[in-house]
Amino acid sequence: MPPGVLNDLNRNGIQCIASVTLLQRFPYHRNHHTIPTMDQNRPTVGGVTAEVLKAVVSEALLGKFTAVFPKLFKCQWKTYEGQKKFYANFSTDCTDSNSNNMSRKFCVGGNWKMNGDQKSIAEIAKTLSSAALDPNTEVVIGCPAIYLMYARNLLPCELGLAGQNAYKVAKGAFTGEISPAMLKDIGADWVILGHSERRAIFGESDALIAEKAEHALAEGLKVIACIGETLEEREAGKTNEVVARQMCAYAQKIKDWKNVVVAYEPVWAIGTGQTATPDQAQEVHAFLRQWLSDNISKEVSASLRIQYGGSVTAANAKELAKKPDIDGFLVGGASLKPEFVDIINARQ
C-alpha cells in the first residue's frame, strides 16, 4: 500500500479505511501505471484526491454499478452477502431498538399497490429524503416487486421497504410468485400480507394468508398482516366476527408476534373516499386489543401495533392518530403524493 495512504489511514481512521477500501474495490492501477500519491497540497475527500475519486466514480459508472450502488456510510445494504460484509464496519444500524417495546412506536406504511415507474419513484424518494420526518414514527414503503431494488437505493435508509406479497414456501415451481427469501435478497425487510385486494380479487383464503405470514416471519421478514370487513359485513353487524375470524387464522400460525403489525382496513373505505370516523376506527381497534388479550396474551395485546387503513389523508390523519388504540396507518393512494409526509407526521 502506498506510504501516503498509510499516513492518511493513521490520521483519519475509519474515514480513510473506507477510502482505501474503495481503492481496493476499484483498483486504479489496473488501467494506469501509477497510483496518484496523496499530496498534502491537493484537495482530498476522505483522504482520497479528487483525481483518484474521479477514477473510482468513472469505473463505477462504466460498470453500471450505479443500479445497485449502496448509500455509503448511511446504512448497510442488504442485497448481496459480499456487500453486507464489505459495509459492515461502516454501516449505521437502521433498525429501531424501541420498535418492540411497550410504548408502541407509531408506524406508517405506504402501499403503492400497482403504481409507479422509475420517474415517479425518484420524485417520491426525493420528497421523502428532503422532508423532516417525525423520528418517533416508523415508516415502511410497500413497493411493486419489480422496483424494490431501485426504490431501496433512493429512499432514506431509515425507511423500511416492503414487498406487497410473498408466497408460503422458499422456492419451487410456482410461476409468477415471489418468496420472502427473494424479497430479503434485494433489500426488503417487510412484506404486506392479507390485503383485501389479495383476498377479494385473487381469492386468497384466511388459511393461505396465515401460512404466508408464518413462512415470511420464519425467513426473517417483518409482516404487516391485513384484516378488514366488507360493506355488506359491516351493515350486517358482522365486523367483529369477521376481524376475529381473520385474526384467529393468523394466531393459529404465528407464535411470536414481535415482528408483526396488524393493519385494520375496512374494505368499504379503501380507495372509495369514505373513511371510518375516528370513533368507528377506535371501536374496532379496541375490540382487537381485547381479542388479543383474551386469545393471545396481555403482553401481546399491550405491545402489538394496530394500524388503520382506509382512505387515510393528511386531512383526517391527525384526528385518527389521537385515538389510543390506533398505532399508525397503512396508506394507499395518498402515499404516492407529497401529503404522505403530513400523514407520517400526524402525531407531531
Q: With 0-12 CB in 10 A as exposed, 13-18 as middle and 19+ as buried, what is 80?
A: middle
State the Cα–Cα distance between residues 15 and 17, nearest whole angstrom. 5
- Residue range 228-247, pLDDT digits in tens: 999 999 999 999 999 999 99
**pLDDT: is 100 or 108 the higher one?**
108
pLDDT at 270: 84
Q: Catalytic one among 197, 204, 229, 265?
A: 265
- Residue range 127-166, pLDDT digits in tens: 999 999 999 999 999 999 999 999 999 999 999 999 999 9
Residue in 199, 299, 196, 205 with CA at minimum distance from that of residue 257: 299
State the Cα–Cα distance between residues 168 and 223, nearest whole angstrom. 13
**pLDDT: is 270 or 15 the higher one?**
270
Which residues on adjacent β-strands are paired with residue 264? 227, 308
∠ CA(24), CA(29), CA(30), 5° rounding?
90
The answer to whether the CB of 343 falls within 8 A of the CB of 314 is: yes
pLDDT at 43: 57
Buried b (16+ CB within 10 A) or exposed e, 245-278: ebbebbbebbeebebbbbbbbbbbbbeeeebbeb
What angle separates helix 3-12 from helix 14-25, to the nearest 10 degrees? 140
State the Cα–Cα distance between residues 214 and 338, nearest whole angstrom. 34
Average pLDDT over residues 19-41: 44
Q: Catalytic one among 195, 211, 215, 339?
A: 195
Which residues on adjacent β-strands are paired with residue 138? 107
pLDDT at 148: 98
pLDDT at 58: 57
| Helices assigned H by DSSP within the chain | 3-12, 14-25, 50-62, 81-87, 118-130, 148-154, 180-185, 196-200, 206-218, 231-235, 239-253, 278-295, 298-303, 314-321, 340-344
Residue 55 has pLDDT above 90, yes or no: no
**Structure pTM?**
0.74
Average pLDDT over residues 333-345: 97
**Quick one: pLDDT band at residue 59, thresholds 50, 70, 90?**
low
State the Cα–Cα distance between residues 109 and 264, nearest whole angstrom. 12
State the Cα–Cα distance between residues 37 and 117, nearest whole angstrom. 44
- Residue range 199-228, pLDDT digits in tens: 999 999 999 999 999 999 999 999 999 999
DSSP for 243-301, written as a single string? HHHHHHHHHHH-S--TTEEEEE--GGGSSSS----HHHHHHHHHHHHHHHHHHT-HHHH
**Quick one: pLDDT band at residue 273, thresholds 50, 70, 90?**
confident
Q: What are phi and psi of 22, to 5 degrees?
A: -60, -40
Residue 265: active-site member? yes
Name the residue with cell 386489543.
289
67, 197, 303 from 254: Cα distances, Å: 36, 22, 15
∠ CA(176), CA(190), CA(249), 5° rounding?
80
